Structures are given as C-alpha cells and as structure tokens.
Amino acid sequence: MKYIYIKTWGCQMNEYDSSMIASLLENNNEYLITENVEKADILILNTCSIREKAQEKVFHQLGRWRKLKNNNPKIIIAVGGCVATQEGKEIFKRASYVDIIFGTQTLHKLPNMISEVQENKKSTIDISFPKLEKFNYLLKPKKTGSTSFISIMEGCNKYCSFCVVPYTRGDEISRPCDDILFEISNLAENGVREINLLGQNVNAYQGRTFNNKICYFSELIRLVAEIEGIDRIRFTTSNPLEFTDDIIEVYRDTPKLVSFLHLPVQSGSNKILNLMKRSYTTEDYESIINKLISVRPNIQISSDFIVGFPGESETDFQETITFIKKINFDMSFSFIYSNRPGTPASKMKDNVDLKEKKKRLYFLQHLINMQTMMWSRKMFNSTQSVLVEGISNKNIMELYGRTENNRIVTFTGKYNMIGKFIKLKIKKIHTHSLKGELI
C-alpha cells in the first residue's frame, strides 16, 4: 500500500483537479490519500502561477520535500498545475530530484506516470493539452458533502494583459452538456444539494448536446435546476464581456440560482481597463448590474480588484474607489499587481512603488470591509435559509452553514442537520460571518 500526499495551491479549479487526482489514485487499490506528509510515499504538488514569485514558492516547497527524499530515496515527487505547465523541463534543471511533471490537462495520466517512474527509475513529463480528455477519467463520486464544484469548461480566450491562464490552461473549451448533467445527477444521488459551476469564464460556455446542438450557459443553468435534489446553484467565475441578457433572464425565472454574484471588474478606471485589455468599460459593467437589480432587487455583488497596475495614477485609483461605492460591492478579492513573466503587462513600466501599492490596497480593502459589514447588518434578525455543511472549526459544539448570499453562519444544532437546509434567525453580526439561532 502506497500513501499519497497532495498539496494544492490556487483557485477552485486547482482544488477540483486535486480531487480528481485523489479519486483516480484511490480507485487503484495500491494507493491511499494521507494528510501526513512524512507518511507519504508519493508527494504531489498542484501549483498556481497567478501570484508574484509563484515559481520561487514552488521551489521552496520542493526544497522542503527534498529533505524527506534524502531520508527515503524511494519517495516519488510530482509537480503539476499551472507552474508545471509554464516551466516544464526547467523544473528538472533546478530540482533534479523531481520525478514527474504533469500539466493542467494531463492529470489523468498521473497513475501511469507513477508506474513508469517506479518501473524505469527515470523522471517523466507530460504537459500537453489534450483538450477535455481528463474528464473521460472521472469516477462516480463516493459519499460527498452537501456542496460541490463542477468544472464545466477549461481555459480562456481573453488574453488579458496581466493574466497567465490562457498560457497555462489553454484556450476555452466546453465540456459536453450531457456529461455535466450526468456528473451532477450522480452527485445529487450522493447527497449534494448545492452546485457551483466552475470555469475560468463560465458565461462563455458553449457545450455540445447529445444531438450536436450548442447549449449556452443560460440553458445549462436551467437544465441543472431541473435535476432532482439540487436546490441551490452558484457559478464562478465570469467575465463582464460575455454577461449577456439571456443570463440575466435566468436570474428572473430560476429561483435556484442564488442572489449573489461574483463578477470581476479589476479596476474602476476605463484607462486601466483598456491597458488590462479587459474589452469593456465601467459603464458596461454598471449596465449589467442595473439589469440584474431590475430582476433581482436583493442581489449582492462581489468582485476582483488589482491595485497598482502599471500606469495607474492616483486619479485612476480614486476612480476605482468611487466605482466601488457606486456599485456598493459586498465583498472582494483584491491584490497588489504582480508581474507575471510572459504576459504583455510584464513589459509595461511599473510606475507605482510598493509602498504606494500597499497604501492603496489597504484603503480599498478597508472600504470593501465597511460595505461588507453594512450588508451584514441588514441581515440582523432576518430569517435565512442555510445549507448546513458541517461542524464548526472553532467550536466542535456548533455547526456551520452558508446563506444564499454566501455568508458563513454558526449555530447550535444536531448532527443530523448536516447536508440539509434549515431556517435560522440571525442574532449576531461579524464582518465575514454570522451567528444564528434555530427557528
């Protein structure tokens, strides 16, 4: 029996990929997943290249694992994900003790690659792009939780000037509609009540149906809503450029789609959006939000922001602040701009010093936090439908669940409530969480 340890960095797509790896390996009777790195025979690092110095972070981690391999030369080290796709054989040059390099689209080959290393005692690499081949190796899910991510497409065609995703995940390609519905149906049979449709740009989805017609994203949501047992639908992430009216219509007539949307805008300055090659304006974005509010008056919006992008002046930053107030964003993922090698933005002059970037980021995050608290206060004494996900990490005597608008709520309840929707009255408010009481 071989023990596998998987370390995952990055987005939900990486988490989804790691779950696929675990299922593939656990399906082979020779492997078991362990959370104890020192017990493992095979170490797998699933990497992310979005943030600054991603490569150095990988090599620092590999350096720690090298010590384990020095003590046990039979340990196999595998590196996958976006950094593996981006760096390729360069990883072998800097870390010759690595045995396997696999890409974002070749994780399904990992069991065979492990066997190859064990038999031939030689390193191996496959970072090719065989499109959606990896999804052919999906296994019927075992007993799972109450909520689950489902990948509906891979890659991105937008080529924003700051982003490495098109280079590490490839061009946009959509999974067949019926494959997605079959996977979700299996999950529903195993107790999943909430589905989060996943992709780099989900609203660009154009999957083929059994009769070779195109199923667009709006239609896919409606089909998912028809699956018995699925009572709540989310999706992440989407691009304002393709947030079309047919998607807005789904919010009007599909109650299972939550009144909470994560729609990255990145900046409130049209000049910066143009430099980012985002291909829309703040006016376009605002128009989408206004249309959504017209059909879902209570919808809450979260977003992404990059602070200190090359060319961002103080005026540009203040335009972003004004825009945040105008839209009244509920939450955000906000970061200081980091130069990603190989992207067009990496060739731009970075005119904002780090101290100023940090100052702007702090100001922006403080504003968003105040708006988050304002939205949370509106929930005080309200009754919320909560999907119970498990036992609270902070107090084993409490359970936790999630509201439709993506707030974590802790409460005192019974273990058999896990996996079910319950009604809670909100009695305490915190910035990013709530305290509830059973009704």
Kindly report, residue by residue over 54-73, the tens digit of the pLDDT. Answer: 788 999 999 999 999 999 99
pLDDT of the residue at 29: 65
Parallel/antiparallel/unpaired status of strands 408-411 and 433-438 = parallel
Q: What is the pLDDT of residue 170?
A: 87
pLDDT at 124 over 70: yes
Numbered residues of the known binding site: 11, 48, 82, 156, 160, 163
Q: What secondary structure does DSSP assign to 5-24, as a single string?
A: EEEE-SSHHHHHHHHHHHHH
Most confident range (mean pLDDT) of 12-16, 210-214, 215-219 is: 215-219
Distance CA 89, CA 116 (A): 17
Give 380-430 as a DSSP string: TT-EEEEEEEEE-SS-TT-EEEE-TTS-EEEE---GGGTTSEEEEEEEEE-
Share of the chain above pLDDT 90, in %: 81
Please give the backbone phi and psi of residue 77, each rounded to the nearest 5 degrees, phi first.
Answer: -110, 125
Cis peptide before 343 (omega within 30 of 0): no
Question: H or E element: which one contains 318?
Answer: helix 314-327
Distance of CA 204 to the CA centre of its chain: 16
Are the C-beta atoms of 301 and 278 separated by less than 8 Å?
no
**Calpha distance 50→337 (Å, rounded):** 10
Cα 260 to Cα 226, 280, 286, 365, 372: the distances in Å are: 20, 22, 16, 19, 13
Q: Which of 63, 47, 74 is nearest to 169 (CA)?
A: 47
What does the alpha-carbon distance between residue 19 and residue 6 come to, in Å, rounded to a whole number? 9
Query: Cα–Cα distance between 114 and 6 in angstroms, integer?
Result: 14
Give the span between the Cα atoms of 65 and 81, in whole angstroms. Answer: 17
Q: Specify the pLDDT at position 339.
A: 85
Averaged pLDDT of the chain: 93
Report the alpha-carbon distance of residue 168 to residue 54 in Å, rounded. Answer: 13
Phi, psi dihedral angles at 24 (to 5 degrees)? -60, -45
CB 188 within 8 A of CB 228: yes
Give the pLDDT confidence of 233-243 residue by residue, as tens digits. 999 999 999 99
Quote the pLDDT of residue 425: 98
Q: State the angle between helix axes of 354-377 and 314-327 in degrees (0 to 180), rounded to the nearest 10.
A: 10
Say if CB 377 and CB 368 are below 8 A apart. Answer: no
Query: What domains are there in the chain, each with its CATH number?
Result: 2-126 (3.40.50.12160), 133-377 (3.80.30.20), 380-438 (2.40.50.140)
Contact 151, 379 (CB under 8 A): no
**CA neighbor of 77 nearest in space, from 110, 104, 31, 53:** 110
Per-residue pLDDT of 262-272, as tens digits, reads: 999 999 999 99
- What percent of the chain is modeled with pLDDT above 70? 98
Three-state secondary structure call for residue 97: coil
CB contact at 8 A, 407 and 426: no
Alpha-carbon gap, residue 263 to 280, rounded angstroms: 13
Q: Confidence band (pLDDT; 50, 70, 90) for 403?
A: very high
Cα–Cα distance, 177 to 206 (Å, whole number):
8
- Angstrom distance (rounded) from CA 2 to CA 12: 27
Classify 300 as helix, strand or coil: strand
Residue keyed to tokens 């702007």: 360
Nearest to 162 by CA among 324, 316, 50, 314: 50
User: What pLDDT does residue 140 have?
Assistant: 67
How many CB atoms neighbour CB 226 within 10 A? Answer: 10
* SS3 state of residue 267: coil
Residue 370: strand, helix, or coil: helix
Contacts 24+ apart (CB under 8 A), 390-397: 390/145, 390/418, 391/415, 391/418
CA distance 75 to 207: 41
CA distances from 307 to 345, 348, 352 (A): 14, 15, 10
Binding positions for [4Fe-4S] cluster are 11, 48, 82, 156, 160, 163
Q: What pLDDT score was predicted for residue 143? A: 58
Q: What is the pLDDT of residues 281-331, one digit of tens each?
A: 999 999 999 999 999 999 999 999 999 999 999 999 999 999 999 999 999
